[in-house]
Amino acid sequence: MTEDLHAPRHYEVRHATEYTYDDYVTTSYARACLRPRETPQQTVVSNLIEVLPAADVLTEHRDVFGNWSHYIEVRTRHTELKVNKTSVVTITWPEVDLDRLNRWTVAEAVKQLRRAGGVDPVDHAMYSLPSALVEITPAVRRYASEILPANRPYGEALVDLHHRIFTDFAYTKGATSTTTTLSELLESRAGVCQDFAHLGAGCLRAVGLPGRYVSGYIETAPPPGKPKLAGSDATHAWCAAMVPGGGWVDLDPTNDHFADSRYVVTAWGRDFRDVSPLKGVIFTESKSSRLRVAVDVTPLEASAVPTPLPGPSSREVVPG
């Protein structure tokens, strides 16, 4: 029996970040994107953030992209800093209607979106322009033109976009960094999900289509016959294309398919720099540090999903 990847699913997501230093840190300031978004496909049942040592300041607000952005300030001397997020989400991601998308060619979709009918002009501009990690170089334009020619049906082009990146590039951990450019990626032909999401967004922008970078998680399975190890999941990234009328279609070049109900969305922006899970500055004499990140995406039975409390407390952020 074929698994229905678009049926409702429920997950508990645990994301633990731990920094260890060889000398005391006197003050730590951090900005984080850790609380999942509410989307048409995703309901956030609960979210808890714990900081150890306890945060002196822990606040949140919506950023320009609509993501939850958290400010963390720790003024207690420490050699370890732990930031733990635990979320419960319910997801129902519908199947992409390719027949509908194929009613437009790529050129017609570009034209329709520029008319701004049902489209936020700020969103259109924000996700159409180059960004720090999504530069629209001649090499990117050449690569995009092969996949997204003006006369190609839009849905067919999006399928080929995630498929071509999947087949043209090798998934190789350590081949790139958080500052790798698209020109470097196109030359090396190896990278990770972050790079492939940047390239997908870059190809869309190169032909005049708004493309955004999406950060989150995906449910994974262990090798056959092996148990799933605690903390063995990871953050994931993919891209999304705007469609006429203002909606978005999410596609994953790393895994060669459209997003489905296994995908948990945390944040989106122009590129990785807009949605980094945790970044900041510290005051210390430490000469070395170690970072450990552990992620668990655990399926839940519907009966195990707690009932959301009314009001903001259903998604409150609590200091450790």
Same domain? 270 vs 288? no
Q: Do residues 41 and 258 lie in contact, with contact meaning Cβ atoms separated by under 8 Å?
A: no
What CA–CA distances, in Å, run from 98 to 167, 172, 276?
21, 31, 32
In a domain, 203, yes or no: yes
Same domain? 87 vs 181? no
Same domain? 130 vs 222? yes
pLDDT at site 313? 37
CA 146 to chain centre: 26
Instruction: Dump the DSSP string for 147-158.
Output: HS-TTSBHHHHH
User: Residues with Cβ < 8 Å from 133, sequence gap 6 or more?
Assistant: 179, 180, 181, 182, 198, 271, 272, 273
CA–CA gap between residue 230 and residue 307 (Å, rounded): 26
In a domain, 49, yes or no: yes
pLDDT at site 308? 64
Segment (H or E) for 193: helix 193-206
**Quick check: 105 pLDDT over 80?**
yes
For 268, the token pair is 């989106």
Query: For 111-152, what is each residue's pLDDT tens digit?
Result: 999 886 668 889 999 999 999 999 999 999 999 999 999 999
The band of 90, judged by pLDDT with boundaries at 50, 70 and 90, is very high
Same domain? 117 vs 64? no
CATH code of the domain in which 108 resides? 3.10.620.30
Same domain? 173 vs 280? no
Lowest model confidence (mean pLDDT) among 80-89, 177-186, 261-270: 177-186
The owner of tokens 């996949």 is 147
The owner of tokens 């039975």 is 301
Structurally, the chain folds into a number of domains equal to 2
The band of 312, judged by pLDDT with boundaries at 50, 70 and 90, is very low
The band of 230, judged by pLDDT with boundaries at 50, 70 and 90, is low
Query: For 274-289, what is each residue's pLDDT tens digit?
Result: 999 999 999 999 999 9
Count CB atoms within 10 A of the CB of residue 207: 20
CA–CA gap between residue 273 and residue 198 (Å, rounded): 11
The band of 54, judged by pLDDT with boundaries at 50, 70 and 90, is very high
In a domain, 316, yes or no: no
Its domain, for residue 42, covers 9-91+276-305
Same domain? 283 vs 254? no
Same domain? 47 vs 117? no
pLDDT at site 222? 75
Query: For 15-52, what is each residue's pLDDT tens digit?
Result: 999 999 999 999 999 999 999 999 999 999 999 999 99
CA 195 to chain centre: 12
Question: What is the arithmetic mean of pLDDT over 193-219?
Answer: 97
In a domain, 315, yes or no: no
